[in-house]
Structure 1
Amino acid sequence: MTTLDLEGLLDILRRSAGDSEALTGADVLDVPFEELGYDSLALLETAGAIERDLGISLADDEVADAATPRLFLELVERSS
Protein backbone atom coordinates (compact mmCIF):
# COMPACT_ATOMS: atom_id res chain seq x y z
CA MET A 1 0.00 0.00 0.00
CA THR A 2 1.38 3.39 -1.02
CA THR A 3 0.75 6.34 1.26
CA LEU A 4 0.47 9.91 0.08
CA ASP A 5 0.42 12.68 2.67
CA LEU A 6 -0.61 16.31 2.30
CA GLU A 7 2.92 17.56 1.62
CA GLY A 8 3.37 14.90 -1.06
CA LEU A 9 0.08 15.85 -2.69
CA LEU A 10 0.95 19.56 -2.64
CA ASP A 11 4.34 18.80 -4.15
CA ILE A 12 2.73 16.81 -6.98
CA LEU A 13 0.16 19.60 -7.52
CA ARG A 14 2.94 22.17 -7.81
CA ARG A 15 4.94 20.03 -10.24
CA SER A 16 1.91 19.10 -12.35
CA ALA A 17 -0.15 22.25 -12.37
CA GLY A 18 2.03 25.07 -11.10
CA ASP A 19 2.51 26.79 -7.79
CA SER A 20 -0.44 28.44 -6.09
CA GLU A 21 0.10 31.27 -3.64
CA ALA A 22 -2.90 29.95 -1.70
CA LEU A 23 -0.89 26.87 -0.70
CA THR A 24 1.56 28.73 1.49
CA GLY A 25 1.13 29.19 5.22
CA ALA A 26 -2.42 27.89 5.56
CA ASP A 27 -4.16 24.70 6.53
CA VAL A 28 -5.54 23.68 3.17
CA LEU A 29 -6.95 20.20 3.81
CA ASP A 30 -10.56 21.33 3.57
CA VAL A 31 -10.18 24.27 1.18
CA PRO A 32 -11.71 23.56 -2.24
CA PHE A 33 -9.14 23.17 -5.02
CA GLU A 34 -10.93 25.89 -6.95
CA GLU A 35 -10.20 28.37 -4.13
CA LEU A 36 -6.59 27.20 -4.15
CA GLY A 37 -6.32 28.10 -7.83
CA TYR A 38 -6.54 24.59 -9.30
CA ASP A 39 -9.16 23.61 -11.85
CA SER A 40 -10.31 20.18 -13.01
CA LEU A 41 -7.56 19.96 -15.63
CA ALA A 42 -4.94 20.56 -12.92
CA LEU A 43 -6.42 17.74 -10.87
CA LEU A 44 -6.41 15.37 -13.83
CA GLU A 45 -2.74 16.23 -14.45
CA THR A 46 -2.05 15.58 -10.78
CA ALA A 47 -3.88 12.25 -10.97
CA GLY A 48 -1.74 11.31 -13.98
CA ALA A 49 1.43 12.15 -12.06
CA ILE A 50 0.24 10.03 -9.13
CA GLU A 51 -0.40 7.14 -11.51
CA ARG A 52 3.12 7.46 -12.97
CA ASP A 53 4.94 8.14 -9.70
CA LEU A 54 3.05 5.87 -7.31
CA GLY A 55 1.39 3.31 -9.58
CA ILE A 56 -2.08 4.17 -8.29
CA SER A 57 -4.88 4.31 -10.84
CA LEU A 58 -7.51 6.98 -10.17
CA ALA A 59 -10.82 7.15 -12.05
CA ASP A 60 -11.44 10.51 -13.72
CA ASP A 61 -14.96 10.83 -12.30
CA GLU A 62 -13.70 10.17 -8.77
CA VAL A 63 -10.91 12.73 -9.23
CA ALA A 64 -13.53 15.28 -10.31
CA ASP A 65 -15.55 14.56 -7.15
CA ALA A 66 -12.54 15.04 -4.85
CA ALA A 67 -13.04 18.77 -4.32
CA THR A 68 -10.53 19.29 -1.50
CA PRO A 69 -7.06 17.97 -0.67
CA ARG A 70 -8.58 15.86 2.13
CA LEU A 71 -11.01 14.19 -0.27
CA PHE A 72 -8.26 13.70 -2.84
CA LEU A 73 -6.02 12.03 -0.25
CA GLU A 74 -8.91 9.79 0.83
CA LEU A 75 -9.41 8.79 -2.82
CA VAL A 76 -5.74 7.91 -3.18
CA GLU A 77 -5.87 5.88 0.04
CA ARG A 78 -8.95 3.93 -1.15
CA SER A 79 -7.36 3.32 -4.55
CA SER A 80 -3.98 2.10 -3.33
Structure 2
Amino acid sequence: MSTQFTIDDLKRILLEGAGAEEGVDLDGDILDTDFEELGYESLALLETGSRIEREFGIALDDDVFTDNRTPRALVAAINETLSALVPQA
Protein backbone atom coordinates (compact mmCIF):
# COMPACT_ATOMS: atom_id res chain seq x y z
CA MET A 1 0.00 0.00 0.00
CA SER A 2 1.37 3.39 -0.96
CA THR A 3 1.47 6.10 1.68
CA GLN A 4 1.42 9.00 -0.78
CA PHE A 5 -1.27 9.92 -3.30
CA THR A 6 -0.15 12.30 -6.05
CA ILE A 7 -1.81 14.38 -8.73
CA ASP A 8 -0.35 11.91 -11.24
CA ASP A 9 -2.15 9.07 -9.43
CA LEU A 10 -5.39 11.03 -9.64
CA LYS A 11 -4.97 11.82 -13.34
CA ARG A 12 -4.21 8.19 -14.14
CA ILE A 13 -7.22 6.91 -12.18
CA LEU A 14 -9.54 9.51 -13.72
CA LEU A 15 -8.42 8.51 -17.22
CA GLU A 16 -8.67 4.76 -16.50
CA GLY A 17 -12.12 5.04 -14.99
CA ALA A 18 -13.89 7.72 -16.98
CA GLY A 19 -11.58 8.95 -19.70
CA ALA A 20 -11.34 12.65 -20.44
CA GLU A 21 -13.82 15.08 -21.93
CA GLU A 22 -12.93 16.33 -25.38
CA GLY A 23 -10.97 19.53 -25.05
CA VAL A 24 -9.85 18.83 -21.46
CA ASP A 25 -6.11 18.55 -21.02
CA LEU A 26 -5.37 16.75 -17.76
CA ASP A 27 -1.68 17.48 -18.33
CA GLY A 28 -2.39 21.20 -18.00
CA ASP A 29 -2.74 23.16 -14.78
CA ILE A 30 -5.86 21.51 -13.33
CA LEU A 31 -5.03 21.57 -9.61
CA ASP A 32 -7.57 24.27 -8.78
CA THR A 33 -10.15 23.50 -11.47
CA ASP A 34 -13.51 22.16 -10.31
CA PHE A 35 -14.12 18.54 -11.31
CA GLU A 36 -17.34 19.57 -13.03
CA GLU A 37 -15.41 21.99 -15.25
CA LEU A 38 -13.09 19.10 -16.11
CA GLY A 39 -16.09 17.07 -17.24
CA TYR A 40 -16.29 14.67 -14.28
CA GLU A 41 -19.82 14.37 -12.91
CA SER A 42 -20.87 12.45 -9.80
CA LEU A 43 -20.97 9.00 -11.42
CA ALA A 44 -17.43 9.36 -12.79
CA LEU A 45 -16.23 10.58 -9.39
CA LEU A 46 -17.88 7.62 -7.63
CA GLU A 47 -15.98 5.28 -9.96
CA THR A 48 -12.80 7.23 -9.29
CA GLY A 49 -13.36 6.93 -5.54
CA SER A 50 -13.86 3.17 -5.81
CA ARG A 51 -10.65 2.80 -7.78
CA ILE A 52 -8.70 4.90 -5.25
CA GLU A 53 -10.08 2.80 -2.37
CA ARG A 54 -9.09 -0.48 -4.03
CA GLU A 55 -5.66 0.64 -5.15
CA PHE A 56 -4.64 2.40 -1.94
CA GLY A 57 -6.45 0.14 0.55
CA ILE A 58 -8.46 2.92 2.17
CA ALA A 59 -12.09 3.76 2.79
CA LEU A 60 -13.19 7.24 1.74
CA ASP A 61 -16.05 9.14 3.32
CA ASP A 62 -19.12 9.43 1.11
CA ASP A 63 -18.73 13.21 0.94
CA VAL A 64 -15.04 13.30 0.01
CA PHE A 65 -15.83 14.49 -3.53
CA THR A 66 -18.51 16.99 -2.54
CA ASP A 67 -16.24 18.49 0.11
CA ASN A 68 -13.17 18.50 -2.16
CA ARG A 69 -14.21 19.87 -5.54
CA THR A 70 -10.73 20.32 -7.06
CA PRO A 71 -7.86 17.92 -7.70
CA ARG A 72 -5.64 19.80 -5.21
CA ALA A 73 -8.21 19.49 -2.42
CA LEU A 74 -8.94 15.84 -3.20
CA VAL A 75 -5.26 14.84 -3.27
CA ALA A 76 -4.80 16.54 0.13
CA ALA A 77 -7.86 14.78 1.59
CA ILE A 78 -6.71 11.39 0.36
CA ASN A 79 -3.21 11.96 1.73
CA GLU A 80 -4.74 12.91 5.07
CA THR A 81 -6.64 9.61 5.07
CA LEU A 82 -3.49 7.71 4.14
CA SER A 83 -1.41 9.41 6.83
CA ALA A 84 -3.96 8.42 9.46
CA LEU A 85 -3.20 4.78 8.60
CA VAL A 86 0.56 5.09 9.07
CA PRO A 87 1.64 4.20 12.61
CA GLN A 88 3.15 7.17 14.39
CA ALA A 89 6.64 6.61 15.83
Tell me the distance in 1 between the aligned counterparts of 2:57 and 2:41. 23
Tell me the distance in 1 between the aligned counterparts of 2:25 and 2:56. 22
Q: Any conservation in 1 of the 2:11–2:26 contact (CA below 8 Å)? A: no
User: Normalized against structure 2, the TM-score is what?
Assistant: 0.80
Q: Which stretches of structure 1, 4 residues or longer, exceed 4 Å deviation after superposition?
A: none
Higher helix share: 1
Tell me the distance in 2 between the aligned counterparts of 1:19 and 1:27. 15
Tell me the distance in 2 between the aligned counterparts of 1:25 and 1:50. 19
Tell me the distance in 2 between the aligned counterparts of 1:68 and 1:7. 14
User: Normalized against structure 1, the TM-score is what?
Assistant: 0.88
Gaps of 5+ in 1: none
Larger Rg: 2
Tell me the distance in 1 between the aligned counterparts of 2:78 and 2:27. 24
Aligned position for 1:60 = 62
Q: Any conservation in 2 of the 1:43–1:64 contact (CA below 8 Å)? A: no
Greater CA deviation, 16-25 or 67-76?
A: 16-25
Residues 25-64 of structure 1: matches in 2 within 5 Å?
A: 25-64=27-66
Q: What do you get for the CA RMSD once the two structures are aligned?
A: 1.4
Q: Percent identity?
A: 43
SS in 2 for 1:23: coil
Deviations 1:58-77 (A, max 9, x none): 11112221100001101101
Give the deviation of 1:26 after TM superposition.
Answer: 1.6
- The one-letter code sitting in structure 2 at the alignment partner of 1:4 is F
